Chains A and B, each alone.
Chain A
Amino acid sequence: MDMNQYLEVFIEESKEHLQSCNDHLLELEKSPNDMSIINEIFRSAHTLKGMSATMGYEDLAKLTHKMENVLDAIRNQTIAVTPELIDVVFLAVDDLEEMVQSIASGGDGKKDVSNAVEKLKLIEESQSSFVIDAQKEVAVATVEADEEQKTTYDEFERTVIEQSKEQGFSTFEISISLREDCLLKAARVYMVFGVLEELGEIIKSTPPVEQLEEEQFDQNFTITIVTKETSAEIENKVMKVSEVEKVEVLSITLTDSKNEIQSRSLESKAVELEPIENQVVPSEKATINNANQSNNNESKNHSAGKATSKTIRVNIERLDILLNLFEELVIDRGRLEQISSELNNQELQETVDRMSRITGDLQNIILNMRMVPIDTVFNRFPRMVRQIARDLHKKVNLEIIGAETELDRTVIDEIGDPLVHLIRNSCDHGIETPEIRKINGKSEEGTVILKAYHSGNHVFIEIEDDGSGISRDKVLKKALKSGIVNEETAATLSDKQVYELIFASGFSTAESISSLSGRGVGLDVVKNTIENLGGEVTVDSIEGKGSLFSIQLPLTLSIISVMLVEIQREKYAIPLSSIIETAIIKKDDILHAHNQKVIDFRGKVVPLLFLKDLFEVPIFEEEDEFISVIIIRKGEKMAGLVVDSFIGQQEIVLKSFGSYLNNIFAIPGATILGDGQVALIVDCNVLLK
C-alpha cells in the first residue's frame, strides 16, 4: 500500500505527539501523582504506536510499545515516578524523535532501539506479578458495571444526555423484547420507533437502526430516548405495539453511572494493590481522587481539543505563494488606480477605491497568517534546561513567559540557535551549584526566566537568571589578556560596556571549560546571528544577583519600512530602522578631511558616502547645487548617504535574489515596487562597517 500521501501528516503528527510527551513528562516529574498527565502521555504514545505500526515503521512501533507498557504501569500505580525513570522515558522519546527525524529527511526510520527497549523492560519487569491479577480484576469489574447499563455512550451522546438533563428532560434506556414468533420484526421496530419518536428524541439504539431495519437481531433491542414523559407512560405506550413481549424502562443519569464504574473498578483495584500501594501511593483515597480528577481533566481537554479543531494545517510554501500572488495583485492595483485617476470616471474610481480597501484588509490577513507563536521555539527549552541541570548537578527552574507572542516565521526559523546558546550560557555560567547558592543565601534552585513580548514594532526576548552575574574584573582581565581592549580604554569603560565585551569574538570567562559552553565561540556568534536578523542583543548584570540578556528583534523580516530614494535613474530602498533623519545640504557645506568628504551635522562630523560611486550608477544628468543626504547610524557610528532625491516612505516586501546571486555587497535583497519594477534594498549596517 502506498503510504506516501500520508507521510507528511504522519511526520507532523508524530512530532506533535512527541512534543506533547516531552512537555507532559516534565510536568509529571514535578507532580508524579497526577494521573491526568500520565494519561496524556499514554494517549500520545498510544497514538504514535498506532500510527507508526500502520505506516510500517517497526522500530518506532516497538519502542513506543515498550514505553507504553511502562506508562501503563505508572498509571496502574505499580511503578513510582522517579527522576531515573523519567530519564529512561526521555531517552526513549529522544530515540523516537531521532527516528521521526530520519523519516522526515527521507530515511527509513530504522534505528537500533535495543538500549532504550532494554531499559524500559527492566523497569517494566520490576513490577510484581500480582499486578496483572489486579488488572484482570479491574477488567472484570468494568464488565460487570457495563452489564448493568446495556448501552455505552460515546462523547457526543453523553453531551446530549447531559445537556438535555440540564433542560429538564430525562433519559431512559428502553429494552424491548419481541415475541419469538414475530414475523415482521422490522415492521415492529418501525412501529416502536414511531411511538417513541412521538414521546421524545431517540438518541441511540443498539443494535444500530440499519441493523434493526435489516432484521439483524434476535428478539431484543435497546433504545435510548430523551423525553419529558415518565417511565410508566413510555412502557404503556410501547406495550401497545403488537407482538412486543416485554418492555423494560431504565432511567439513566450518565455522570453517576460513569463514576460508579470508575469507583467500583478502582475500589477493587485498590484492595488488590494494597500491599504495594503502601509503598508507592499514600492512600487508596488518593487514587480515586486522582481518577476523578483525571476524568474532569479529560473532559476539559476535550473541549480544548474542540477549540483547536478550528485550525487547519497549511504548508508554509503555500503561504509564500499566496503572498507572492498577492503582491502581484497590489502591483496591478497600483496600475488600476493610476488609470482610473487618468480617466476620471466616477464609477470606475469608486470601484477601484473599494478594491484598494479590500486588498488592504487582505494584506493584513495574509501577513498575519505568516505569524507563528514563539512557543514553537520555546517548547524545546524546558527539556533542554532539565538535561543541562542534571548534567551539571545544578537545580534550575525555567520559567517561560509570553510563549504566545507572535513573530514572523522567517524570524522564528533563525532565532532558535542563539536562544539555545544564551540559555545554556545562563545555566552553565550564570546559575551556581546548589552548595554555593546556599552559602550565598539563595535558594538552592536557580531560576532562569525566558520572556517574550511585543513592544512597538519590535519583539523582545529576555533571558534572565538569578545566578552569579558577570564579574567586571574577570571580564576585563580576560579581555586584556586576549587583546580585545587595551589598558587605557579598559579604565574608561562603563560597567555595561565591559559586559558587552563578552560578545567579542575569542572571549570566554568560564574557569573550567564544560561540554556545554565556554569554548569562547558562542556569544559573538549569537550577536552576529541576531544582528543579521536586524536585531540587537544587550546584556546587563549585577554581580552576585544575576544577569539579563535582552534581544530586540523586528516583528517581521519580510516586510520592512523603507525610505525610497532615487540615484540617477535607479531606485533604492533604505530601511527606516537605520535612518536617523534626512537633510538637504548645500554643496558648499561639504568639508574635506583626509581625502574624505564630511559634513557638520548637529555639531558632529559625519562622513559622506556617495551611493552613486559606491554602486557605480550610470550617470545621466549632473547634480545640482544641493545634495540630499540620509543620515544613518549603527551603534556609535554614523554616516551620510548621498542620494539624488527622496521618493518617500513605504512598506515593502523583502525578496531575496534566489540562490544564483547571493552575497552582493551591501545589497541583501530587493523588492517589487508598485509599478512592477524591482528596487534594491541597501544594508546600512554593512556600509558602516
Chain B
Amino acid sequence: MRSVVQIRVKVIEVSDMSETVSTDIKLIVFQLDGKEYGISVEYIHGIEKVQHITRVPGTARFVKGVINLRGVVTPIIDLRKRFGIEECEYSDTTRVIIVAMDDVEVGLIVDAANDVIDIKEETIEPSPEVVGIKEDEYVKGVIKIDNRLLILIDLAKILDRKELKVESSEE
C-alpha cells in the first residue's frame, strides 16, 4: 500500500511541474462497504476508535448517539445508515472520523480509515449517474487513481440539519 502511495506522489510531483496553476488537496481515505471514500483533510479534526456511544432518543435513525470526546459531547452519525447501506457489527478497524464544518462538529462512523493521499483538484470528475443508490446524493465527485476509484463525499449535505428533521418526523 505504502509503495503505491509513494509512486503516486511521485507521479503527481512530475505533473506538478507542467501545471503550475493546479491546487493540491489532501484527502483522508476511508472504507465503507468495500468502497473507498475521501474527505478533504481540512474538515477533519481527528480519527478516533469506537468508544461507548450513548443513544439519544427522538433523533434521526442515522444518529447513533453521542460520545464524550475529550469533555465535549459530540454527536455520532453512522455513515452506513446515512447512505442507506446495511449496518454491520463494529470491528477492530471501525473508526470515528471527527469532522467539523462551520459550527457543527460530529463524528462519522466508517468501516476503516487508514490512508492519506494528495490529489489535484482537476482530477476530480463528476460522479457517474448510473449508480443510483441513496449515497449518490452525497457524492461530490469521483477520483480515479490507477485502478482505484475514490468517491469524494459532500460533507455539507451529510451534515444538513434539514434532513435530520425530515428523518425524525418520518419516524
Contact = CB atoms under 8 A, between A and B. Distances in A.
Chain A partners chain B: yes
Contacts of B25: none
Nearest to A663: B165
A667 B75 CA distance: 14
B58 A615 contact: yes
A617 B65 CA distance: 13
B90 to A, nearest CB: 16
Rank and list the top 8 A-B pairs by shortest CB-CB distance, nearest first: A615-B57, A324-B71, A678-B54, A665-B58, A655-B73, A660-B104, A670-B73, A661-B75
Interface string B70-113: 11111100000000000000000000000000011110000000
B54 A677 contact: yes
Interface residues of A, number: 30
Contact of A617 (B57, B75, B103): B57
Contacts of A667: 56-58
A660 B73 contact: no
Contact of A677 (B68, B75, B106, B159): B68
Interface in A650-689: 655-661, 664-667, 669-670, 672, 676-680
Residue picked from A615, A618, A658, A667, most chain B C-beta under 10 Å: A658
Contacts of B68: 331, 672, 676-678
B80 to A, nearest CB: 18
Contacts of A570: 54-55
A666 B59 CA distance: 12
B63 interface: yes
A335 to B, nearest CB: 13
Nearest to A615: B57
B75 A657 contact: yes
Contact of B159 (A616, A660, A664): A660
Contact of A660 (B51, B52, B71, B106): B106
B27 to A, nearest CB: 23
Nearest to B65: A678
Interface in A369-421: none
Contact of A678 (B59, B66, B105, B161): B66
Contacts of B106: 658, 660
Contacts of B51: 676
A670 B66 contact: yes
Given A570-B55, A677-B52, A678-B54, A657 B73 contact: yes
A108 interface: no
Interface residues of B, number: 26
B58 A672 contact: no
A618 B55 CA distance: 10
Nearest to B70: A328
A615 B55 CA distance: 10
A605 interface: no
A670 B55 CA distance: 11
A566 to B, nearest CB: 13
A644 interface: no
A664 B165 CA distance: 10
A656 B58 CA distance: 16
B81 to A, nearest CB: 15
A95 interface: no
A661 B66 contact: yes
A325 interface: yes
Contacts of B74: 658
Contacts of B66: 657, 661, 670, 678
B67 interface: yes
A40 interface: no
26 contacts: A324-B70, A324-B72, A325-B71, A331-B68, A655-B72, A657-B56, A657-B66, A658-B72, A658-B104, A660-B75, A660-B104, A661-B63, A661-B66, A661-B75, A661-B164, A664-B58, A665-B58, A667-B57, A667-B58, A670-B54, A672-B71, A676-B51, A678-B65, A678-B66, A678-B68, A680-B57
A327 interface: yes
A189 B159 CA distance: 77
Nearest to B105: A658
Contacts of B57: 614-617, 664-665, 667, 680
Contact of A327 (B52, B58, B71): B71
Interface string A602-626: 0000000000001111100000000
